[in-house]
Amino acid sequence: MMKKSAERIYLLVIFLFLYLPIMVLVVLSFNDSKAKVVWGGFTLRWYRELFSNSAIMEAFCTTIFISLASALLATLLGTLAALGIDAMRKRGKAIMLGATNIPLLNADIVTGISMMLLFVRFTRLGFGTVLIAHITFNIPYVILNVLPKLKQGSRTTYEAALDLGATPLYAFYKITWPQILPGVLSGFLMAMTMSLDDFSVTYFTKGAGINTLSTMIYTEMRKGIRPEMYALSTILFLIALVLLLFINFRPAARKERAA
């Protein structure tokens, strides 16, 4: 019994550690006092200022667009690559997997800087360079999620379908695709998460006037206290909560029914 309550307390402490900072931001977002961390009455002022701040709203749009587009393109390239790698012989596979790990394990700052050096030499920094950079660091997550599913799936069914006269495309759609779909989806989600949360790579590859939320908040924070940021935190927290609830519990419920 003692042990059980000790475990409970430990969970609670970690829970507080994780959520106290977020709660502080949520509370401060309703606080009608700018500079000090003293309660100055309830207000929705910071939310109004947040929504009327075109720079923040633009950064919000850019972030969503970049993470969606980069995750989609990375999923496309990565899934194709996984199919190709899966067909390779052992040696080629090892080389490809090794290369795939590089951007995954390399330091963000080095990835960002090396891309900046390349872009500066051959083109101008802008929206496109950020997108390319995000796609690049996203692809490995897709490949690493799709490959295991390909390994699990049986090749024989696919080949049997071909022998029975199915076109490769039809066989792929009917047999391989359903097998790898969960991997593709989780790869997509992970790529999107990484892209949403990235700061360093964007910081080095972005052009003038282009900001994702991370780089925008970074510049704003270096200018001083911005209560709009608290309001933004609250909203992002709610969005994350709803999205994660949706992703985590809806499909799970359905899977149980299917089983």
By CB under 8 A, name the one of 90, 91, 151, 222 that touches other proteins: 222
Q: How far is the CB of 99 from other proteins (least distance, A)?
A: 6
| Nearest Cα residue to 152 out of 185, 182, 179 | 179
CA of residue 228 relative to chain centroid, distance: 24
Own/partner pairs for 242-249, CB < 8 Å, 24+ apart? 247/189
Taking the C-alpha atoms of residue 23 and residue 16, their distance in angstroms, rounded to an integer, is 10
By CB under 8 A, name the one of 16, 19, 152, 173 that touches other proteins: 19
Q: Does 221 bind other proteins (CB under 8 A)?
A: yes
Q: How far is the CB of 140 from other proteins (least distance, A)?
A: 9
Cβ neighbour number for residue 162 with a 10 Å cutoff: 14
Q: Indicate the residue among 25 and 43 with the shorter CB distance to other proteins.
A: 25
By CB under 8 A, name the one of 130, 196, 201, 228 that touches other proteins: 196
Q: Does 115 bind other proteins (CB under 8 A)?
A: yes
Q: Which of residues 53-82 bind other proteins (CB under 8 A)?
A: 53-55, 57-58, 60-61, 64-65, 68-69, 72, 77-78, 80-81
Q: Indicate the residue among 44 and 54 with the shorter CB distance to other proteins.
A: 54
Q: Indicate the residue among 32 and 168 with the shorter CB distance to other proteins.
A: 168
Taking the C-alpha atoms of residue 3 and residue 11, their distance in angstroms, rounded to an integer, is 12
3 state DSSP class of 42: strand
The H helix count followed by the E strand count for the chain is: 12, 0
Q: Which of residues 26-45 bind other proteins (CB under 8 A)?
A: 28, 34-38
Q: Does 131 bind other proteins (CB under 8 A)?
A: no
Residue the block writes with tokens 């700061």:
199
Q: Does 223 bind other proteins (CB under 8 A)?
A: yes
Size of the site for other proteins (CB under 8 A): 116
Q: Which of residues 145-184 bind other proteins (CB under 8 A)?
A: 145, 148, 162, 168, 181
Taking the C-alpha atoms of residue 134 and residue 115, their distance in angstroms, rounded to an integer, is 11
CB 184 within 8 A of CB 38: no
Within 8 A by CB and 6+ apart from 93, the residues are 85, 86
